[in-house]
Structure 1
Amino acid sequence: MNVEINPSEYKILIVDDVISNVLLLKVLLTNEKFNIVTANNGQQALEQVEKEKPDLVLLDVMMPDMSGFEVATKMKADSIMSEIPIIFLTALNSTADIVKGFQVGGNDFISKPFNKEELIIRVTHQISLVAAKRIIVAQTEELRRTIMGRDKLYSVIAHDLRSPMGSIKMVLNMLILNLPTQTIGDEMYELLTMANQTTEDVFSLLDNLLKWTKSQIGKLKVVYQDINLVEVIEGVSEIFNMVAGLKKIKIVLDISSDRVEVRADIDMIKTVIRNLISNAIKFSNEGTEIVISLTEEDSMAVVSVKDSGCGIDETNQKKLLHTDTHFSTFGTNNEEGSGLGLLLCKDFVVKNGGDLWFTSKEGEGSTFSFSVPLLQR
């Protein structure tokens, strides 16, 4: 990272018990427009670091009261001082001393007697690193604020749109149930059904978006409770019977037990199952089956949703479940997907102590599975 620096914005502390050395360094660095503060011994150096908060310390190794290595050790033990880079000034050139200097937290060495050009280059290099670090810290903070602002905005949008969309959804549901085809004709009934399905999808997307953003900004906490997973699966799949029926798809439950108890957040688990069934319907062909199974493996309950739909090709399988490469595609009836649902599922399952995975073969279908810890008695 090539950083342009303005020396007048940086302060350097020079520490040496030989006054002539201090004066020489002060003149050389003041000429370069750096701000200079000085100290003549180790104790004074620590006091100056605390008071002046320099950006760099030039520290003589050989001092009578406290060696430069001791000063460096004390600096590195202090949370505020530890970040300040140190260049040791030394007449010692043995490998052992250089190794010792780096071990106690030194960043560089300058040999006495000083070479002016070498001194300026080494000092400027350390100050450039300080400047680069500050830029990174500032950019990181700005990025964090931007992301938080974006997530809050998403949350507000999803929240404000969810309520009117919920009302439209209820109206369309009532119209479909109360207007037989013979009254309004096949064409109008089909349009109404299509509008109903679109509204359901938009409502589901807004619901996912709201939960996703709340989860990202840490406002969605896991509320653990003991739940019977069989009842949850039955309840959620029942809601989808009508939607599946519109595509002549049959939802089959392959569950041998009537009670599988887990410890998890019921709302999060319902959201995961709802998304997996919704996706299975979206990517299934008419007249096929979706099989939901529940098994126990080690200390985990495993729920699988298997469809015989269009499947996912190998290239896109690698992109799935990764935030940066996540993609969306169209269902078998051109139903639009947001790609957000699966990311939310993964997030929720991991938060509940489980995992989410899938197997898929293009043209044959997919099986999405997730695990959740069984209730330990």
Structure 2
Amino acid sequence: MALGLKRLQTLLNHDDVTATFTGEFPCIKTESNGVMKLHRSVFGKLLGDDPEDERPAKLALNALSGQAMFLETKLRDIRPIIKLTSVSSYEKILGGQQRSDDMFSSLATDIQTLRTALAMEAALGEGVVDRSAIAKLQIETHNFDGDILIISDIEPSKLVGRGSDFGWGNVLATLQDYVVDTTISQRLSTDLVGSSEIRDLATQRIDLSLQRAHRSAQQIECFQNVVFEGAGGLADCYNSGGISFEDALRLVDRTTKFREWLIGLAPDADILAEYHAAIAKEGITDKLPIAAARFAFFTASGAGIDAFTGGSGIGTLAGVSLSAFDTFVIDKVLKGWRPNMFVETARRSFD
């Protein structure tokens, strides 16, 4: 849109430029199930007059055909440009469908993130933003195998001054764009380039990840001190005849469930409180003294401080106090990524 086809072709011919093209576009698919609306992150394609024709150049032409400046564009004008690119899909670009879904779901079900994105949407309107009302908004989220349900005590449209057709699907579309931009930037270790609409969201969301990482490190340090202080080893119990070899093996096998429990904790979970609640349940250990039980679980499960935090001290493996998105961003920041934000400013003419 900014360069036009000829200048784009000139740019792609430059020795220092590489480009990847996908004929897909990100979107949020919303389906009603009774009074509930379920949202899912998907990638679609604009199919033109021939739905069977999914050649990259044809998909590109379909995307451009709705723009006034490209009404006279033909397929022959697009082919030379596509040949200068590497054709791919969002699944490959983002590192796999599952990873992309996990990233999106972690943001889409994060209440603090939803409030931030909603406030950003409100700021784009012409009215006065009632940030206090957005901060007090009661939100409940659920993830049904990738289908996101968001329930709030006030409809989003009433808080952003938009029409009744504005809903959580619009907010999720913005989050999806942010996931795509951030993932590409992170995978390529480049600056974060995005639209002005997501600039504030990017700044606030990365700051939130850093805050959570710091809080997670403090939680883990406290957790380690309480759990391991004065604890005996599993081997000591076995050597003293407290448990049999078969009992020890069963205990090690059961730590798989414990690892799953750790990973399944909410981003804002108090791991110490959750641990005490779990360890107190009947049947979590049968014969071990509590000191040996807690040590056995956390050593046999690989949940010691090094494994538990991925060597970073912030819980990147188990994700305690960190969502999938937080973990993704912080892991790269620790490796030197600096997500400088460049806002898209497209000039419509070059005189």
TM tier, smaller: under 0.3
The alignment's TM-score, normalised by the length of structure 1, stands at 0.20
Larger radius of gyration: 1
- Structure scoring higher RCO (CA < 8 A, sep ≥ 6) equals 2
The alignment's TM-score, normalised by the length of structure 2, stands at 0.21
